[in-house]
Structure 1
Amino acid sequence: MTDYLFPPAPVHSVKVLGQSAEYPVNRIFCVGRNYEAHAAEMGGTVDREAPWYFTKTPAGAFCASGATVPYPPGTSNFHYEMELVVAVGAPVFKGDLAAGQAAIFGYGSGLDMTRRDRQQDGKDNRRPWDLGKDVEQSAVLTALTPAASIPSLAGRRIHLSVNGQIRQDATLDELVWSPAEVISHLSHYYHLMPGDIIMTGTPAGVGAVVAGDVITGGIDGLEPIALTLGVAE
């Protein structure tokens, strides 16, 4: 048995509806500007040549739905982003669209919580977004629904409320790049494996939250999501 200097990071996993075994999270990829209206509200445009990505570190960013987390340090403009989550269930490398679709294990709801002021710093200074996006407990995930029980994503509503007030309300038809297209494209840069999670982008209506706010949301046919913001540490 290997002797470590300190305990290695624990394995994070999410529940799977109808199964006792859980889905261990390996990597978290996030798609940027995958809804036209959200790109516009952020002062940008959709790149229709190809999707693009940033990442979150599972060891620090993972958070299970239903948690209460402290308002994070280093920001005064902390935003919610409601997203469709796609879980990879088979190896895929340089795959085509059919391979991308076949590699989908399941779907879930997710929140990409963001230090918007730190993200803007990165944009303004042409620096990475890590301080804005790879925030501790900022990748909030629900239990997964197996893809076999979701014959189509067409027309499904995606929505988010803060303290009971609707803030985001759209449909998955507004996604610029479908999950299969994203997986196919991303697999030309990474050997995607079971355990890889893809957060597919957020619709318009993002905004700031403060300590004490309760965020709830959902996607038709998937597990609903919830997060409570506690006081800053």
Structure 2
Amino acid sequence: MQKIIDLFVLFIISITVTAQTKFGEPEVDPIQIQKNFSDWSAYQSKKIMLSRDFIAFDSSKEISKETFLDQLANGSFIPIRLESEPRMYVYKLFEIQPNSDTSIKATMNQIGFDALKNYKMEGTAFPPFSFKDLEGNLVSNESMKGKIVVIKCWYIHCTPCIREFPQVNKLASEYKDRKDILFVSLAEDSATQLKTFLARKPLSYSVIPDMKVYMNEALQLNSFPTHFILNKEGLIAKVLPNFESLEVALAKESR
């Protein structure tokens, strides 16, 4: 009987070890990357996309994405990607070192907070919406029904928002023959300001002005740009912080 118990324990240990090691080593040294804020920030912004679908691990086991994001928002951890297949994303939590720049923890907590808030919006209905764009066309929950909707939230003086214009314009062009996909943007600025600005820097989205109150109160946004993808049922499929995440998520949603 003891032998059976021992074999069972070994089996459980084997499964646990396999679960932890079936993915490779961290792609960067978790301690070395924390030596200075610039190196960590560059890695975080280029390699970690918390809005995408990924497999999440704490120090010893697989956990839910929500738990993982909660740890980033409220704990003292950074995420590092584990080596894996090219199209598979596996992130693991590593403790922030006591001697690391305090800006790493503060920044990571804010990134985690935003990512957790965005994740919790997925699957919920997009808030009631009925506004006119710069061309006088009514855009509403009703008019968007039955379509995949890509929404960019931005304002004129947001440098990252403007920097991605060429990329989002190219994306809109790639999907121009898809009549079931709409590209809409919500801007804080007035119609007059937007018309002057967009004459110099065109945006291939339907642009809706004076959306500051709606974005602050209904969407509760605190970072820009923010992108939404709505599915054909009018539910929020994804909330995304940048073009790179948007491109990947739209390709998946539009299959």
> Structure 2-normalised TM-score?
0.20
Higher relative contact order (CA 8 A, sep 6+): 1
- Between Structure 1 and Structure 2, the one with more helix by share is 2
Of structures 1 and 2, the larger Rg is shown by 2
Bigger share in strand: 1
